[in-house]
Amino acid sequence: MSENISNQSEYVLETRDICKFYGPLKANDHISLKVKRNTIHAIVGENGAGKSTLMGILTDTVKPDYGDIILNGEKVVFRNPMDACRHGIGMIYQEFMLAPNFSVFENIIVGFEETKGAFVDYKKSREKVEKICKDYNFNLPLDEVINELPVAMLQQIEIVKVLYRGADLIIMDEPTSTLTPQGIEGLFQAMRVLKAAGKTILFITHKLQEVFEVSDEITVLRLGKYVGTYDPKDLNQQKLANLMVGREVILQANKQPGEPGEPVLSVRNLSVYDQDNIQRLKNVSFDIHAGEILGIAGVAGSGQQYLSKTIFGLSKAAEGSKIEYLGKDITGNTPRENRADHIGYVPQDRMVMGCDVKTSIWENTIMGYHRAHGFKTRWLVDHKDANQFTEKVVDDFAVKVQSINSNVGSLSGGNIQKLIVGREFSQDNKLLLIEDPTRGIDVGAIEYIWGKLLEFASQGAAVLLVSHELNEVMELSDRIMVMYNGELYDGGKYGEFDESQLGLLMTGGVAQKYETIE
């Protein structure tokens, strides 16, 4: 009996020599790891380390070239993704797998409905969902349509969904990337409840801090290879970062607070209404000075993006708003005029707004500046000039490309971001509007872009940094403002407030509204 239990309970999952090659790329190169039952097991690694491929193999969305999966001590071969699900592996994807316009309840049951013949047995399904919510302490509005629900709630729906499907081993892919500090705390709480109920969690992340907060064990992957499994007590963030990257990494941005110069951008009483006539910005006023990085923190959807978009001319400022740039009124100017005025913009959505993935690297590098700054003879594009410029950006920003004629879509996310940032930084811009410059890219590239951003500001440009990554705002900004519900609140100077104070502001905790001193 005891023999049986120890056999059963020590490792819930084991992979042996898992390999997956894409041509010459070794996405997974003989990965063997063991996951103890009833633990929270973190899997960390840079982008391209093979985490996603490995998880794809575990859920059978990717077929391994070689290797075995051992589940509860038995070798299993999955025939299709449903097979993995039936074996009790539940996956929570980074992009939530939820259908808009569907109610929470429908989203949970779809595909696994309790049935009466061909009909859905709504009553029985409902009871099952309600029982799970009660057992695991989730409080979900089952009949509401998911569209308006906050991200943290959506994630809980995903968790209930995999539990409903009978998952025993729950894989979470970068679950914290869209959450607020408070939301992350809530998620960790839920993870602990799941663990207490006997579930095992595989937690994929590249945020080091979180790893130490919840995990019982940490597995590091690097370049498709298994580096090792560690006890969090034996590591610290710095050591873990070094293991992930394989060399010494600087985790702090090493910011040198400088003296701000003349105001470059003055925004007064800026209000913006969206297409549904909801006010997204409410009388926002602030200045940015030369050589200064102004960081805007806030929960996603608080109105930050309307700020940078409106300044750049992508959305319309309401009556009475005033945006002044170097003493000139630019309210209502088009993006083209703004580019010509040396205002740069790095949009959050790099794949859609930042570049065109289906065109070449050189085209993307001059994109937006093809009129404002030359690159053309009178009628035609000057290829020589454009190529020279592209080569320069690619060199200066260490973008790994095979040829500047290949499509941008062939680059990795980090390299695309380096290219876009490089494009905006290399144009002698006096003002840079930048949104989430390091979203979803790995430690090495973050380090690089942070360094470039600080260097850029120190040369006298003004930077408006809008980021959902609180840590990023805190590391880089000379001055921090927190946006909540379309209004700006003072978040102090560099290093003045700590994370929990700013987190409180982000969720509407008491604070003084930010007023510009006239």
Partner 1 sequence: MELLRVMFSTVTLNATFRMSAPLILGIAGYCFCRKAGIMNIALESFMLIAAFFALLGSYLTKNYMIGTLFGVIAAVVLAALYGLFTFHLGANGLITGVGFNLSGWGLTTMLLVMIFHTRGATNVGAVSYDTIDIPVINSIPFIKDIFNNQTLLVWLAPILTIIAYIVMYKTTFGIRIRALGLNPEAAETAGVSVVKYRWIAMLVSGATMGLAGAFLSLNSLAMFTENMSGGRGFMVMASTMVADGNPLKGMLFGLIFGYCQALALTWSSLGVPTQFTGMLPYLAVVIILFITNFKNLKKFGKI
List contacts with partner 1 (CB under 8 A): 81-82, 85, 91, 93, 95-102, 106-107, 109-113, 115, 118-120, 273-277, 309, 314-316
Residue 297, SS3 per DSSP: strand
> How near is the Cβ of 516 to partner 1 at its closest, in Å?
26
Show the tokens assigned to 320: 């009475």
Distance CA 518, CA 515 (A): 9
Question: Which value, to the nearest 10 degrees, does the dihedral of the CA atoms of residues 104, 110, 113, 119 take?
Answer: 100
Q: Compare residues 274 and 329 and give the one whose CB is closer to partner 1.
A: 274
Q: For residue 79, what is the DSSP state? A: S
Please check whether residue 173 is in contact with residue 204, taking contact to mean a CB–CB distance below 8 angstroms: yes
For residue 61, report the phi and psi dihedrals to the nearest 5 degrees.
Answer: -90, -15
Please check whether residue 219 is in contact with residue 41, taking contact to mean a CB–CB distance below 8 angstroms: yes
Distance CA 455, CA 329 (A): 28
Q: What is the DSSP string of 45-64?
A: --TTSSHHHHHHHHTTSS--
> How near is the Cβ of 313 to partner 1 at its closest, in Å?
11
> How near is the Cβ of 315 to partner 1 at its closest, in Å?
4
> How near is the Cβ of 270 to partner 1 at its closest, in Å?
15
Distance CA 343, CA 358 (A): 25
Show the tokens assigned to 353: 């707004």
* Best CA proximity match to 360, nearest among 290, 414, 419: 419
> How near is the Cβ of 109 to partner 1 at its closest, in Å?
8
Q: For residue 352, what is the DSSP state? A: I
Q: Compare residues 24 and 100 and give the one whose CB is closer to partner 1.
A: 100
For residue 320, report the phi and psi dihedrals to the nearest 5 degrees.
Answer: 90, -5
Q: Compare residues 16 and 126 and give the one whose CB is closer to partner 1.
A: 126
Q: Alpha-carbon torsion 271, 276, 278, 280, what sign?
A: negative
Q: Compare residues 96 and 188 and give the one whose CB is closer to partner 1.
A: 96
Q: Compare residues 101 and 252 and give the one whose CB is closer to partner 1.
A: 101
Q: Compare residues 119 and 379 and give the one whose CB is closer to partner 1.
A: 119
Please check whether residue 174 is in contact with residue 206, taking contact to mean a CB–CB distance below 8 angstroms: yes
Q: Compare residues 96 and 136 and give the one whose CB is closer to partner 1.
A: 96
Strand locations in 276-360 (E): 279-289, 293-297, 322-325, 328-329, 343-346
Q: Compare residues 72 and 103 and give the one whose CB is closer to partner 1.
A: 103
Q: Compare residues 205 and 305 and give the one whose CB is closer to partner 1.
A: 305
> How near is the Cβ of 189 to partner 1 at its closest, in Å?
25
> How near is the Cβ of 165 to partner 1 at its closest, in Å?
8
Residues in the chain: 518
> How near is the Cβ of 110 to partner 1 at its closest, in Å?
4
> How near is the Cβ of 101 to partner 1 at its closest, in Å?
6
